[in-house]
Amino acid sequence: MATRAVSYGKAAYLRSTPADKAIGPQVARIAFQHPSQTRWLIAFAGSAGLMLWLAVALGWLFYWGIGVWGNNIPVAWALDIVSYDWWMGNACGAILFSAVLLLFRQYWRGALNRIADTIAVLSAAAAGIYPIVHLGRPWFFYWNLPYPNNLGLWPQFRSPLVWDAFDIISFLIVAVLLWYVGMIPDLATLRDRAPWSRRKLVYGAAAVGWRGSAVHWARWIQTCRILALLAALQALCTQTGAAVMYAGTVEPGWHDTLLPAFFIANAIFSGIGVIAVIAALVRYLYPVSDLITRDHLDLLARLLLAAGLMSTYFYCADFFFTALGGDNFDRSVMMRRFTGEYAISFWLIVGASLLPIHLLWFRSVRRSSLLLGALGALVAVAMWSDHFMVLVVTQHRDFLPSSQSFYMTSFWAASTFAGTVGLFGVLLLLALRYLPVASIVDTRLSIRVQTET
């Protein structure tokens, strides 16, 4: 197979990459012949088992009510909202990664943008379960939407549930459009190379008549840029909206104007961490080391390090603003985060993300898919712990001593979260099985642009 070394500035990010005409057959071969099938089947079986357990956990929840999660007063927002915020943080961080790099024309993104867009869509889908199932009467979920009805009833627009529904729906619309429109030329490639007529029919319908004319390319590029801008704005609005909802309360630890920026920083940190995990998984499952190269991993690691340093800055700023702010309630919450019943959540953030990311200063760590994937997994776990700390530590000690109560999560709450992880895994593995794992068009464009540079 012919190869060419291409340069982008002083580095060769696509060193030993196949010639641009060979990229299409290579990616199509993965979708049709499916190498590493045994590894894929093992991963799929584990994810499917967790997804089936999600059905059991939800059935138990619908029968007995949300009390099986361990929620109490005052900790009414517990593991359900923690998991919802974590999934949405991953979705917003992943789509910001893809959209911002597209808008700034960073062509090396071609190896990772399909992974990022897929993570954004599937994370939002996993998050969408929680606003429905924690309603108490989930069969009336459509009451959250303003629709014409005979009784003239409208949603309570001061309720967070309504805005959660709006966030999920609007985010999914933009994320799915960015993911699908960006994949149309690649679907046409699979259509033209499909060995069986049924696959040709399916991929042909998904490619919506793409023929690669100059008009098609011009409209496709313009549409992708518009959707990338909308996706970036949607992600920022989603995170700042949730943060303002917290900051608008009088709860200590939440009533802070720094919270919107804090949420965005942690969402980017978490999203890039999940991208690192999935990129390492894709390199393990499929022979794509010449498409997702060690130089791509190096760039991804640099972004993860920058996001981690930004997150560390916000943690330090929150500490100093609280210590010097003169509010005894805020200082009490801060001390409970360090030494209280749930102090492990704070120290997990420090020990699993804020300290380990400094290993990325070393080039050998940045270029190792195993180490980078492990660090990404630690960052994802730490950001889940951050949401737990922000929500539970603040709520379990109310202003009145009579309203204070210890929160202990239950087996069924943990099962529901594990089930959403299984749902995410099943959908992700199916996408990796039947869709292009890397963007054929963007990777070719990256080679050509970098060659000309």
- String of b and e for 243-260 (b: at least 16 CB within 10 Å)? beebbeeebbbbbbeebb
DSSP reduced 3-state for 409? coil
Q: pLDDT higher for 34 or 447?
A: 34
pTM: 0.91
Choose among 235, 117, 279: nearest CA to 182.
117
pLDDT band at 266 (very low <50, low <70, confident <90, very high): very high
Distance (Å) of CA 98 to CA 156, 233, 271, 358, 409: 34, 13, 10, 24, 35
Choose among 318, 191, 334, 217: nearest CA to 261.
318
Question: Tell me, what's the pLDDT at 14?
Answer: 46
Domain ranges of the chain: 3-452
Distance (Å) of CA 351 to CA 110, 251, 308, 375, 449: 33, 27, 13, 11, 41
What tokens does 329 get?
């309630």
Q: pLDDT higher for 367 or 443?
A: 367
CB under 8 Å to 258, separation ≥6 — which residues?
A: 314, 317, 318, 321
Angle, vertex CA 168, rays to CA 143 and CA 124, nearest 5:
135
The mean pLDDT of the chain is: 86
CB under 8 Å to 142, separation ≥6 — which residues?
A: none
Reported in sequence order, the residue ranges of 277-433 that DSSP labels E, i.e. its strands, are: none
pLDDT at 12 over 50: no
Q: pLDDT higher for 446 or 113?
A: 113
Question: Tell me, what's the pLDDT at 54?
Answer: 94
Give the Cα separation of 295 and 153 in Å (integer).
56
The H or E element that residue 3 is part of is strand 3-4
pLDDT at 201 over 70: yes
pLDDT above 90 as % of the chain: 47
pLDDT at 255 over 70: yes
The Cβ of residue 351 has, within 10 Å, a number of other Cβ atoms equal to: 14
pLDDT above 70 as % of the chain: 93
User: Alpha carbon 262 to chain centroid distance?
Assistant: 17
pLDDT at 318 over 60: yes
Amino acid occupying residue 53: W
Write down the residue that tokens 């979920």 correspond to. Answer: 141
Question: Tell me, what's the pLDDT at 189?
Answer: 87
CB under 8 Å to 354, separation ≥6 — which residues?
A: 308, 311, 312, 315, 382
Total H helices, total E strands in the chain: 17, 2
Instruction: Please write the tens of the pLDDT for every residue from 141-191.
Output: 888 888 887 777 888 887 778 888 888 899 999 999 999 999 999 999 888
Cα-trace Rg, the chain: 23
Choose among 181, 200, 184: nearest CA to 192.
200
Instruction: Please write the tens of the pLDDT for every residue from 36-55.
Output: 778 888 999 999 999 999 99
CATH architecture of 3-452: Up-down Bundle (1.20)
Q: Is the omega angle on the peptide bond into residue 138 within 30 degrees of 0, that is, cis?
A: no
If you average pLDDT over residues 291-317, what whole number do you get? 93
